[in-house]
Amino acid sequence: MVSAATANLKSSGMTYRFLGNSGLLVSKLSLGSWMDVKDNYTADAWYNMMKLAFEHGVNLFDTAEGYGGGLAERNLGAAVKKGIAEGTWHREDLVITTKIFFGPKPYETVHESGPNEQGLSRKHIVEGTKASLKLLDQEYVDVIFCHRPDPYTPIEETVRAMNFVIDQGWAFYWGTSQWSAAQIIEACETADRLGLIRPIVEQSIYSILDRNKVDFEYVDLYKKYKLGLTTWSPLAYGALTGKYSSGTPAGSRMEDPLFKASTPDFAERVAKADKLKPVAEKLGISMAELALAWCVSNENVSTVMIGAKTPTQLEQNLKAIEAVSKITPDVKAEIDALIPFVPELLKTDGSEALRAQHL
């Protein structure tokens, strides 16, 4: 039996790509559920967002332990159940992904976690996965990610633990997030040596303003390991929306200290992004559509994760799929000329310090 929304997906304009070296097809745009404890989303509100995205052809929905102190996983799971009960979708229609590393506490208090509540040890991977499935109220997720690299856990231990999760039927595939190319290579080579399942996908930041990993560091991995990509922050924390040209709008997330700390050079990034306004105007699309379509146009990217605080904002972002054909080689060259990409030395986001504090 085909769900009502599934029957209409062909008219949505969405198309799909394989997720790395797998047979799993994912929509070129997907919906992420990053939230903090102040967002106060309800399960019904999140269901409405998921339903809108699904009706536009989106099939991948991402979350993580710790998003909203567990509320994001709880809401996503409840929304999945509600959609099944109402005949909106079947579980088979959805690709649900979650991530393990930071532990169950919200990011605001992540430094208060115990020494084994975080990281990529076998203990935390197994316990964290079971906790996530309980919050999601699901028997399995489709993909489980190592949310950050853990320099204090041997990669072989992590590879074995992720394969244990798959062997238990708790996930079908596993991946990495914000890992270096060297770490991904070691994980793949370790899996091959042990006859285990490789990570098939990396979840990396990627936008016109953040290209280092996807367009430089990982370039040899796409062919050698057929690495897939789910990318996040395509609008560069809002810098590429055009909404910040005259300052920070009231109610914006950039008023949040957590976001300010993540992008201390935000004003400089907005100034760079504003150079793209004539390009968007010439193409007859918004700045956000230009930025999202540019990410989707990279064939190494399996899916571009979008987020939104309201259904209206989500619907605007979903329109970007219609603009992908406008991102021609000439348009890409024009963007490169306005915002040149210069590869940089590798950086970390400081997440390795979370476990170091216990040493």
How many of the other CB atoms lie within 10 Å of CB of 17?
A: 18
Instruction: Give the distance between the most distant pair of CA atoms in the chain.
Output: 55
Helix (H, G, I), strand (E, B) or coil at 334: helix
Q: Which DSSP symbol is given to 117?
A: S
Tokens 């990011």 sit at which residue? 107
> What's the count of helices (H) and strands (E) in the chain, helices before strands?
15, 10
- Which sign does the torsion angle of CA 312, 313, 318, 322 carry? positive
How many of the other CB atoms lie within 10 Å of CB of 246?
A: 8
From the centroid of its chain, how far is CA 318?
Answer: 15
Query: Cα 273–278–279 angle (5° rounding)?
Result: 80
Helix (H, G, I), strand (E, B) or coil at 350: coil
**Rounded CA separation 65/19 (Å):** 22
Among residues 47, 67, 206, 244, which one is catalytic? Answer: 67
Nearest to 157 by CA among 197, 185, 122, 189: 122
**Rounded CA separation 279/326 (Å):** 11
Alpha-carbon dihedral 209, 214, 219, 221, rounded to 10 degrees: 170
Active site residue 173: no
**Rounded CA separation 156/194 (Å):** 9
Positions marked active-site: 67
